[in-house]
Structure 1
Amino acid sequence: MKEVAGLAGVGMKTVSRVVNGEGRVSRETRARVEAAIAATGYRRNEVARSMRGMRSGQSTVDIGLLLGDLTNPFFAGVASAVIAEARGRGYAAVLASADEDPLAERAAIDGLLGRQVAGLLIVPGGRDYGYLRPEIEIGTPVVFVDRPGGGLSADEVVLDNAEGARMAVRHLAAQGHRRIGAIVAPSRWATSERLRGFRQAMRAEVGTIDATLIRRLSTGSVAEAERSARELLAVPDPPTAIFTTTGFMTQGLLRALGPRRDVAVVGFDDFPLADMLPVPLSVVAGDPVVLGTAAAQTLFARIDGWGDPPTRRVIPPTLVPRGSGEIPPPTGARTTRRPGRP
């Protein structure tokens, strides 16, 4: 703690307030202390709180789960699966969220490690997790969920995002669509993989990609997706079908479409009541329960002594046709491949 205080230029009491989440610390000072914590690798030592149990021969029965955006129902499903798997093994899952903020994420991970958890499941929002290497070396297993964690060799359990996008495009092309647009959330590993799959399938199924039909968003909000969708639908030769890379993108598109029923839609990620819409939504869905269960099982295998090199487990998504993805292109729309294309 003394090293953190010196680096941040504050007293040890101020560091203590930041570490313990107490008030009376300005935003600027808190940021300096958190940066110093990140630079030194300090974390609050809560071993003393658990010494009674440790002295009696008990080992920790907690695992840590760090999630990203808690407003995303997909991650709620992941958390439920992890909690259920942990409970079945006599463990408790301690949840934390950083809302996709790398600095807050580092502090949250430090907090989980300070509780002496037996292992960590992380939905990564940062880019470099090399600072966790010493934890792995002393026997704390780490499993990345839904996205890889950069800078660290550790187990990963992810969806096959590229194949899910290819499934969506192949499905739309099978209905006769060739003018297929895409609304893409801000670049993260999963979204970039979905865009990669979209491009691959467009080349294979249509033979060309019209870049004007791909809208890449900066914030990923429903409101921004709605504005982008309205612009996309207003171009001179608009798409007859649209693929969206997240549930928020899909919701924005549906708001822009309103009562229209002449544009086919396939979204990546399911969401509650999508099957109850006037035109039920066709989606590519990864099962969060399967993902969370697989991640937890991998972590417990490590806790139990599994010593193989780190693995990547890829969970296949599923195409769920409900109606919106089966809308045919309007009469007169181009439904054949360009001459000379494979």
Structure 2
Amino acid sequence: MTTRPGARPTMNDVAAAAGVGLKTVSRVVNDEPGVAAGTAERVRAAIAALGFSRNDSARLLRQGRTATLGLLLEDIADPFSSVLGGAVEEIARGRESLLFTGSSGAEPQRERELALAFCARRVDGLVIVPTGTDHRYLLPELAAGTAVVFVDRPAGRIEADAVLTDNAGGARAGTAHLIRHGHRRIGFLGDLPQLYTGAERLRGYREALADAGLRYDQRLVATGRTDQATVAAALDRLVGGPDPATALFTGNNRITLAVLRALPRLPHPPALVGFDDLELADLLSPGLTVVAQDPVGLGRIAAELVFRRMDGDREPPRRIELPTVLLPRGSGEAAPRTGR
């Protein structure tokens, strides 16, 4: 038996070609038991001859699923985001789901537009690295059954799953490391203070100073945009003047990179500890001391959690926090210069 030219072969066509019933074809296609070896081989031969392929889309739609997942990052090109996204994709691939990815560009309105666009395409779940601070726009999607997990930063003004880094603890450890090496004038270069990660890392910096009995000095703190020009200007302010910072704690990898580009023009580069690891950081001279996050762990756990929600987990929202690791490599171990 042949199908009409241009028509997609159906299971009925396979059954007719193999001389078996429709249920037998269904069992072979779905790898179910109960079919004799010879019969199964005849069905598979008919499948190959006809070019039949299972229509998973129809089956999934009947189940209320589309086998798709949306991932919303701040910047898909950022090293931290790309590693996190790769971990989410690995889990999605293992669950035979397609992953749609977009970048918000750190713009809350863009984040909202992308998240709702993914939902309009009926993704089964969303993993979001949020920029905005109000996520009530997702309440109708949550009520409709879309699974949503936030990663790196928690949701704003709604209760939702969140997989986070111990930002305050990591910044506290990095700053304390500089204090142990004799620094008392430690500058902090951070992200926008309204961002959860930026605020938490500043909190950890302040806690380390307080633990050491050191006064918090606003003149040693610069937060805001992370572009090269802004960071370079802040660096000049922190290390210039009669009482400069002898060490710096940088709040994310973008800021650290901007500082590294500016350091060669400084006559007396400060000691440096950065939050987030960088590729080839150990090959610098001196090597870059960092507080390392676990973007693979963040992405993997967030993806596993969103799939559990898609599978029917109705437990209350969870907040999972992963630890950081301090990696001393040389840049954060230099003692303060004297006689500057």
TM score, norm. by length of structure 1: 0.78
Matched AA of 1:317: T
Q: Distance in 1 between matches of 2:81 and 2:247?
A: 28
Determine the structure 2 residue equivalent to 1:186.
192
Q: 1:262 to 1:68 in 2, by over 3 A?
A: closer
Determine the structure 2 residue equivalent to 1:152.
158
Tell whether the 8 Å contact from 2:76 to 2:102 is kept in structure 1 after alignment. no
Q: Distance in 1 between matches of 2:126 and 2:212?
A: 41
Matched AA of 1:138: A
Q: SS of 2:279's equivalent?
A: coil
Q: SS of 1:203's equivalent?
A: helix
In structure 1, stretches of 5+ residues that fail to align are 1-49, 334-342
Q: Distance in 1 between matches of 2:57 and 2:95?
A: 23
Tell whether the 8 Å contact from 1:159 to 1:286 is kept in structure 2 after alignment. yes
Superimposed CA distance per residue, residues 82-125 of structure 1 (whole angstroms, 9 cap, x where no aligned partner): 00011112222111222122222222112211221111111111
Q: 1:179 to 1:118 in 2, by over 3 A?
A: same
Matched, 1:205 2:212: yes
Matched AA of 1:134: P
Matched AA of 1:154: A
Q: Which one of 55, 66, 73 corresponds to residue 67 of structure 1? A: 73
Q: 1:58 to 1:252 in 2, by over 3 A?
A: closer
Determine the structure 1 residue equivalent to 2:241.
235
In structure 2, stretches of 5+ residues that fail to align are 1-55
Q: Distance in 2 between matches of 1:223 and 1:262?
A: 18
Matched, 1:222 2:228: yes
Determine the structure 1 residue equivalent to 2:123.
117
Q: Which one of 267, 276, 288 corresponds to residue 269 of structure 1? A: 276
Determine the structure 2 residue equivalent to 1:292.
299
Q: 1:59 to 1:199 in 2, by over 3 A?
A: same
Tell whether the 8 Å contact from 2:60 to 2:67 is kept in structure 1 after alignment. no
C-alpha deviation, 1:216, in angstroms: 2.1
Determine the structure 2 residue equivalent to 1:32.
none
Determine the structure 2 residue equivalent to 1:20.
none
Q: How many pairs align? A: 283
C-alpha deviation, 1:138, in angstroms: 2.2
5 Å matches for 1:29-108? 52-54=58-60, 59-108=65-114
C-alpha deviation, 1:301, in angstroms: 1.3
Q: Distance in 2 between matches of 1:242 and 1:283?
A: 11
C-alpha deviation, 1:331, in angstroms: 4.0
Matched AA of 1:72: D
Determine the structure 2 residue equivalent to 1:142.
148
Matched, 1:127 2:145: no
Q: Distance in 2 between matches of 1:321 and 1:330?
A: 19
Instruction: Please say which structure displays the higher CA radius of gyration.
Output: 2
C-alpha deviation, 1:284, in angstroms: 0.6
Matched, 1:326 2:333: yes
Q: 1:54 to 1:207 in 2, by over 3 A?
A: closer
Q: Distance in 2 between matches of 1:65 and 1:55?
A: 21
Determine the structure 2 residue equivalent to 1:256.
262
